[in-house]
Amino acid sequence: MMILIIISAIFFLDQLTKVLASKFLVLNQSLPLIKGILYLTLVHNRGAAFGIFKGQLWLFIFSTIFALTLIYIGLRGGKEKRPFIYKLSLGLICAGALGNLTDRILYGHVIDFLDLRIWPVFNIADSSITIGAVLLGYSILKLKTK
């Protein structure tokens, strides 16, 4: 139940921030929040991470649905009890995937707006996926060492 709350909260925060970014920012223009460190820059990403594979909307939609299916299976688990960190990692990936999938279905692109200037512009969903992937790797490695 806790994982479902986390997924819902991150999904809501992601969608809320994207709506606000779209309402208050001008496409491709930057607004400094912390000069030299953090900017708000509205970008419509029609590709995957770093803008690769642009124009492959249906590929992204179907691959995300497939990934979400695997995550659901992983969260449901088998007979063995899964550690919380494993479930949390899948929940973070799920929340991010749902956030970006929603954008792709509604708008045909993902709304990105967080700009560190040393990394491509990203959003809350991207951050959730990245943190979840790191935690997933950690939890898998931790499980193998036991």
Say what the pLDDT of residue 46 is.
Answer: 85
pLDDT value at residue 57: 79
Whole-number Cα distances in Å, 67 to 62, 64, 87, 95, 98:
9, 5, 15, 12, 10
Domain boundaries, the chain: 2-46+54-144
127 and 17 Cβ atoms separated by less than 8 Å: no
What is the pLDDT, as a whole number, of residue 111? Answer: 97
For residue 89, give the nearest of 137, 21, 125 by alpha carbon: 137
Q: Which is nearest to 104 in space by CA: 50, 63, 146, 135?
A: 63
29-41 pLDDT tens trace = 999 999 999 999 9
Q: What is residue 25's predicted lDDT score, i.e. its pLDDT?
A: 96
Q: Please list the active-site residues.
A: 112, 126
Query: Residue 53's pLDDT is what?
Result: 67
Single-letter amino acid, residue 35: K
User: What is the tens place of the pLDDT at every residue in 49-107?
Assistant: 666 667 777 888 899 999 999 998 888 876 567 888 999 999 999 999 999 999 999 99
Cα–Cα distance, 28 to 37 (Å, whole number): 17
The pLDDT, as a whole number, for residue 146 is 58
